[in-house]
A and B are shown apart, each in its own frame.
Chain A
Amino acid sequence: MAQPFLKKDDDHDDEVDYSPFLGIEKGAVLQEARVFNDPQLDPRRCSQVITKLLYLLNQGETFTKVEATEVFFAVTKLFQSRDLGLRRMVYVIIKELSPSADEVIIVTSSLMKDMTSKTDMYRANAIRVLCQITDGTLLTQIERYLKQAIVDKNPVVASAALVSGIRLLQTNPEIVKRWSNEVQEAVQSRAALVQFHALALLHQIRQNDRLAVNKLVSSLTRGSVRSPLAQCLLIRYTSQVTRESASNTQTGDRPFYDFLEGCLRHKAEMVIFEAARAITELNGVTSRELTPAITVLQLFLSSTKPVLRFAAVRTLNKVAMTHPIAVTNCNIDMESLISDQNRSIATLAITTLLKTGNESSVDRLMKQITTFMSDIADEFKIVVIEAIRSLCLKFPLKHRSLMNFLSNILREEGGFEYKKAIVDSIVILIRDIPEAKESGLLHLCEFIEDCEFTYLSTQILHFLGIEGPKTSDPSKYIRYIYNRVHLENATVRAGAVSTLAKFGAMVDSLKPRIFVLLRRCLFDTDDEVRDRATLYLNTLGADGAVEDMKEFLFGSLDIPLVNLERSLKNYEPSEESFDINSVPKEVKIQPLAEKKAPGKKPTGLGGPPPAPPSTIDAYEKLLSSIPEFANFGKLFKSSAPVELTEAETEYAVNVVKHIFDGHVVFQYNCTNTIPEQLLENVTVIVDASEAEEFAEVASKPLRSLPYDSPGQTFVAFEKPEGVPAVGKFSNMLRFIVKEVDPSTGEAEDDGVEDEYQLEELEVVAADYMLKVGVSNFRNAWESMGPDCERVDEYDLGPRENLAEAVNAVINLLGMQPCEGTEVVPSNSRSHTCLLSGVYIGNVKVLVRLQFGIDGPKDVAMKLAVRSEDEAVSDAIHEIVASG
């Protein structure tokens, strides 16, 4: 909340030193709001109270439902006053209070009266308020007035109706679309802002009709658009049309290019910029087309307005990625922006220069950047580091100066992310530019001498262990590594011991001296450091094969760490030492949510253990290692695990459905949760009598299922090739149970056969659909074409709300929602959802779902399917029809 401020200078002498809202309290203001109920209204007093309410709301204060309702009802009384100032406040506070649907009725009649009033401003404001608080039913009642308002001669009234239309299009598109004629008329309005709002609304109404947008753009580019804002919109729509129709032109002439080029000479800077940007974003733009746009952007670079400089350099930065040569003319102007007071502009200028600079300008540029780096924030610095890394890979001969720059900034103050970005860059340069290796490693060695981040120290030590022994003089790194053993925390010390061992293993001449150093580590205070030293001394000193030793030191651990951890926890100390070969190698099934993050950038330092493979890769590997399933061909899809037991039962079983072209494999993941039992010969007996098209072909039992150590058993079925067969399967877990003595952990020799009923399992149509998204649905839809399109309408019956119906259909089809269309705005009466996927047989499928809900919550749906195969389009309709 705003605090009272202190007197700052003499100009303020005439002002009292505290805020008019000092000590304001919600409770007191709500009490004051009772003045709204006075029979003799005091407009001035009422306005003051509303101002206080607005102040509270603007400070992020919230009202409870009861408080809001009380205030809202009181506010409605103020419609009795004829005071204009108060009425204006009333309009604002009603919008801020956002009354609920059952309260709206109280003000509807007052607002409708205002909406048909002779006073223009009453009309304009009443439209804004009504359209904010209204729902679909009321909207149909006032639609007539709104249509009139759109063509009202008062521009304020027309704009109010048009902007309301833009908002209502999200929730009630079918109603707003009926206003096309009026909106079309408003586009021709002489009032600049009305034209701007009308154009925005008209485009939104027609955005899915390519021909209509094309026509709109064609007619407006020939006519005159009055406001610069509207002109900017027109340029955007034109650019969109140009992008979509570019592939259709045979002559090579780009439609509307002349219009865009003409806009570069417009008097408003915003229009010039918009046109320049549109030209730079044209598909396959040529140098000739690009030149005039780059020229105006270059002029903007030296504008006195920071916003223009920012816009220009941001656009040039993008152009530099695809057409670096075209931007080189602007380099001198951009160099002067490095000292721009606005750091966002300076950073963009630097990164653009790094993309466009040639080999000869690198040194000069680096000098400028050095002075610049000290006064920008870490997040900007990271952007610069990444640009320098790319530059160095582009000009490997310049590695010396770029590596020096990186090592210098590595020594300066900075947070973890920044330092990590620098270290990653140095590592990548070492890997990709052999000449940079030795100097790079030495820079890293110097960095760990004074590094405050344990993570970075251990990662660098690991990297040194791999790369250092391969250099011409490995001995020079030993001092830096051994220093860590003396000066650092236990984690880093342990890392240093491992690195020393790697040098000893790879460089024979160093081995005796490494032994001396490792022996000193035997007296370390930390268990892990001592253990590692002992282990490595034994390994390096043993007479075993050199290759085995290297494999042990440098090889990756091919056992999932979770499995190793579990086995170690279960291991009871005994005469028999722990055998690492006894650890199961199968990857425990991860819930889908834990799948690896897509599109992660490669990082410089790979951690010692390799990242676990993605779930689908793991499944594929697992299944292909089982001879019975090896000839099933390529795995099409694996479902998410389906639980077949309740939580916290004796045996926890879930199943993953693996779909192949002509087979289905059920992978039952079983866990025994009883410490006193050992299960053996575990199988699942599957009854497929309700799955006629499936025939069991193989079953792979699980030999042993000890306590809390998950295992898998499989059952495979044959099904008609390429057919999305569905069916229901009932499952019975069958096994031999043996008692285990908890004190010794030994199982009895004799067991008893037993069974355990599991839940039913279904193979559904969605199992044959891969969730594969498309980045631009519209383009994908258009390019798929209507040849195999199938459209039909369905009645989905009564539903809780639209969102529930949309989710049900998405789950039924098992497809990937695109462009966030799975989210249904609350209270909306209609919705369009776009889905994409790949159907079995690798057939791409796109689906456009249009939902509408009527009064008694009956949902109707129009389903349009496009795919590469009409049989698949029909199949999708069948899924919906039978679902």
Chain B
Amino acid sequence: MILAVLFANSEGNILVERFNGVPAEERLHWRSFLVKLGADNLKGVKNEELLVASHKSVYIVYTVLGDVSVYVVGKDEYDELALAEVIFVITSAVKDVCGKLPTERLFLDKYGRICLTLDAIIWKGYLENTDKDRIRRLVRLKSPTEF
């Protein structure tokens, strides 16, 4: 299951956080853990270069995209490789929505669309759609072209 998707700005403030199957009382812990992980390791990292960590049986893949950092957390079938796939889908879809690498302002301007995009990619902790063109259509309630 994909336990969490989190976006933060360069100062570690949360822009989007979506948890699946994580009890409410553990969320704060996860949030601060991820933000600290980013603060310790993301300085000087190139855009979309993936970093990876594991904590007990949970995997974390994270990266920088413009002014925002993106974290995905998973367990079981969503190990580091599956999460790399998930984060790739997320970063390409976000770039697609923003038209370029997002600044924080641009990200917030496109906030509603980004929420819809995330909803199309992950639902209830499962990866549902991976193709960015299809995702773009789904956000507009359009059927995919390829079938």
A interface residues, Cβ below 8 angstroms from B: 1-3, 5, 8, 11-12, 15-16, 19-21, 47-48, 50-51, 54-55, 58-60, 84-85, 87-89, 91-92, 95, 119-122, 124-125, 128, 132, 153-156, 159-160, 163, 166-167, 191, 193, 197, 200, 229, 232-233, 236, 269-270, 273-274, 305-308, 310-311, 314, 342-345, 377
Contact = CB atoms under 8 A, between A and B. Distances in A.
B147 A154 contact: yes
Contact of B50 (A19, A55, A305): A305
Given A59-B14, A159-B129, A342-B51, 8 more contacts: A3-B9, A3-B13, A20-B108, A58-B16, A124-B138, A128-B123, A132-B124, A307-B81
A88 B116 contact: yes
B96 interface: no
A458 B10 CA distance: 45
Contact of A60 (B14, B116, B126): B14
A193 B127 CA distance: 9
Chain B interface category by residue count: 35 or more
A313 B44 CA distance: 24
B138 A156 contact: yes
Given A270-B82, A305-B50, A233 B111 contact: no
B112 A50 contact: yes
Contact of A314 (B14, B54, B138): B54
B52 A306 contact: yes
B84 interface: yes
Interface in B3-57: 9-11, 13-18, 27, 31, 40-41, 49-54
Contacts of B103: 11-12, 15
Contacts of A154: 143-144, 147
A624 to B, nearest CB: 41
What is the interface of chain B mostly: helix, strand, loop, or mixed?
mixed
Interface of B: 9-11, 13-18, 27, 31, 40-41, 49-54, 61, 67, 77, 79-85, 103-106, 108-109, 111-112, 115-116, 119, 123-124, 126-130, 134, 138-144, 147
A119 B137 CA distance: 14
Given A60-B17, A84-B140, A88-B139, A19 B104 contact: yes
Nearest to A132: B124
Going nearest first, the 5 A-B pairs with the smallest beta carbon separation are A51-B112, A307-B84, A84-B141, A121-B141, A310-B52
Contacts of B138: 121, 124, 156
Q: Which of B13, B54, B81, B126 has the most CB of A within 10 A?
A: B81
Contacts of A91: 119
A377 B55 CA distance: 14
A345 B27 CA distance: 26
A202 B70 CA distance: 32
Contact of B15 (A58, A308, A311): A58
Contacts of B109: 20
A132 B128 CA distance: 15
Given A121-B138, A156-B138, A342-B52, A305 B84 contact: yes
A307 B52 contact: yes
Nearest to B87: A307
A311 B80 contact: yes
B107 to A, nearest CB: 9
A85 to B, nearest CB: 7
B147 A19 contact: no
